[in-house]
Amino acid sequence: MNPSLMDILVTHLQLDPQALRQESRLEDAGLDSLTLVELSVLLRERADVEIGEDELSSATTVGALDRMVAERLTRR
């Protein structure tokens, strides 16, 4: 997983790193709709990545979320 994303998820959103497996559904990893809003803000502030909460919620797994963030990081 991208180190920036992992840091945000574990340090700032206080998610369990053991739950952040690539195949884990977002809900199972602790990413509910409110957490996705927070993640959107933190990605913008900490990683300079713009992804709205609607787009974040379209990722169904942690792996899909990781790929989405990685793709945006390479576009910068």
**Domain segments of the chain as ranges:** 3-75
Residue 52 has φ and ψ, to the nearest 5°, of -70, 160
Q: 22 Cβ partners below 8 Å, 6+ apart?
A: 1, 61, 62, 63, 66
pLDDT digits (tens, 9 = 90+) for 15-40: 999 999 999 999 999 999 999 999 99
What pLDDT is attached to residue 18?
Answer: 96
Residue 76, pLDDT above cutoff 80? no
Give dist(CA 11, CA 3) in Å, integer. 11
Mean of all residue pLDDT scores within the chain: 95
What pLDDT is attached to residue 9?
Answer: 97
Q: Could you tell me which CATH number the domain at 3-75 has? A: 1.10.1200.10
3-state secondary structure of 25: strand
What pLDDT is attached to residue 12?
Answer: 97
Model pTM greater than 0.95?
A: no
What pLDDT is attached to residue 48?
Answer: 92
